[in-house]
Amino acid sequence: MDKLLIKGGNPLNGEICISGAKNAALPILASTLLAETPSYISNVPNLQDITTMMSLLGRMGIEFVIDEKLNIEAKSHNIHTFTAPYEMVKTMRASILVLGPLVARFGQAYVSLPGGCAIGARPVNLHIEGLTAMGADINVEGGYITAQAKRLHGATIMMDIVTVTGTENLMMAASLADGVTTLENAAREPEVVDLANCLKSMGAHIEGAGTSTIRIEGVEKLSGTDYSVLPDRIETGTYLVAATMTGGKVKVKNTDANLLDAVLLKLLEAGATITRGNDWIELDMQGRRPRAVNIHTSPYPAFPTDMQAQLTAMNAIAEGVGMLTETVFENRFMHISELQRMGAEIRLEGNTAIINGVERLQAAPVMATDLRASAGLVLASLVAEGETLVDRIYHIDRGYERIEEKLTQLGAEIRRSH
């Protein structure tokens, strides 16, 4: 199992390029199931989750042509299988995103329930309830969702919890339904907007993406498109936090500062100087130690849960006490026990972590448990005294393209060991 060995103490300086957003590329790849003609998707990050999604779509019959830059042509004229088996879905929960497209275009789907993961039970009841409201006949047994529909019809769907992939699944399904669907309390994440823009370029009629109410007027069929995935705001935020923690100066390029206002505000509060252009952000910490900040995670545009572990790591070495409340997932503090082993002073009270910043963390062997927790541990290693070994980094490879290459480019001492 791969490990990362990181020697702490170097301020990060320099420039890196941000990759396409994993959480936009995944639903956009699934949406190619809806199109009668080929689609060309570019700026797709080279990540394990992307490979998993493509192998799942491939076994359904999508033919892929991929170039060396991972520009992808997807042909969906010969879909012959409508199943997403457990052995694939258990490795990547986002496989659930094939459910809406399969039912909408082919009237049938047999998709394994994703099951929980390290950060929570992560049910998909809202995906199922929404498709049922659109006329799908759904049966859940033996760990599988069996869905059938002659043709989905429009419906008004109130989602009682804001769900990103739930909104995405239902928006894709509604694009080919007969009539108008309104999604109330919809997720507003930029990745939802990116999917909506991609669907519109395929011929879908969608209004309100990015707001809490999305209106979709179904059409008879959708055509392939040529679409470039938006930049990854969480990768962007992660490297900016790395610069803040190490007192360095980093410019992230091929990104969009408008996607992470809540994160940038917190880094300004921590004492960073931030300048921004239309596709870059530069953060300069001028060698200073960050000040502790208080965080309350919530759906977009509030502070993203996917940046919580990274800010926990920053608060661990910041000046002062930081309070951090996680409201989206019920078990997203797995990184805290690992940070405590590095000397962090953190107390958990329910879903709030009270973090008393210390001057220095100590290197220690630590273990990644989920994608963003592992990012938090890598950040902590960058400022710890000594060489930290981060184990089970297959988690990190799911969401960060070439992380050791990009961190080395910024002056970190990091290497992978097998």
Q: Would you please indicate which residues are annotated as catalytic (active-site) residues?
A: 117
Residue 328 as a binder of ligand EPZ (CB under 6 A): the answer is yes
Residue 169 as a binder of ligand EPZ (CB under 6 A): the answer is no
Q: Is residue 104 within a helix (H) or strand (E), and if so which, with residue range? A: helix 99-106
Residue 164 as a binder of ligand EPZ (CB under 6 A): the answer is yes
> Among 2-10, 53-61, 122-130, 218-226, which window interacts with ligand EPZ (CB under 6 A)?
122-130
Residue 94 as a binder of ligand EPZ (CB under 6 A): the answer is yes
C-alpha angle 37-40-46 in degrees, rounded to nearest 5:
135
Alpha-carbon dihedral angle through residues 285, 286, 291, 295, given to the nearest 10 degrees: -10
Residue 400 as a binder of ligand EPZ (CB under 6 A): the answer is no
Residue 305 as a binder of ligand EPZ (CB under 6 A): the answer is yes
27 vs 38, beta carbon nearer ligand EPZ: 27
Residue 165 as a binder of ligand EPZ (CB under 6 A): the answer is yes
Q: Cβ of residue 56: shortest distance to ligand EPZ, in angstroms? A: 13
3-state DSSP helix/strand/coil % of the chain, to nearest 5? 35, 30, 35
> Among 65-73, 76-84, 121-129, 134-142, which window interacts with ligand EPZ (CB under 6 A)?
121-129
Residue 23 as a binder of ligand EPZ (CB under 6 A): the answer is yes
Ramachandran class of 219: left when φ > 0, alpha when ψ lies in -120 to 50, beta otherwise = beta
> Among 68-76, 158-166, 267-275, 354-362, which window interacts with ligand EPZ (CB under 6 A)?
158-166
Q: Which residues of 369-395 are buried (b: 16+ CB within 10 A; e: fewer)?
A: bbbbbbbbbbbbbbbbeebbbbbebeb
- Report the sign of the C-alpha dihedral through residues 6, 9, 13, 19, in that order: positive
120 vs 365, beta carbon nearer ligand EPZ: 120
Q: Is residue 207 within a helix (H) or strand (E), and if so which, with residue range? A: strand 205-207
Residue in 110, 107, 112 with CA at minimum distance from that of residue 134? 107
C-alpha angle 54-161-346 in degrees, rounded to nearest 5:
85
Q: Is 23 annotated as a binding residue?
A: yes
Q: Interface with ligand EPZ by CB under 6 A: which residues?
A: 23, 26, 94, 120, 122-127, 161, 163-166, 305-306, 328-329, 371-372, 399
Annotated binding site for UDP-N-acetyl-alpha-D-glucosamine: 93, 306, 328
Annotated binding site for phosphoenolpyruvate: 22-23
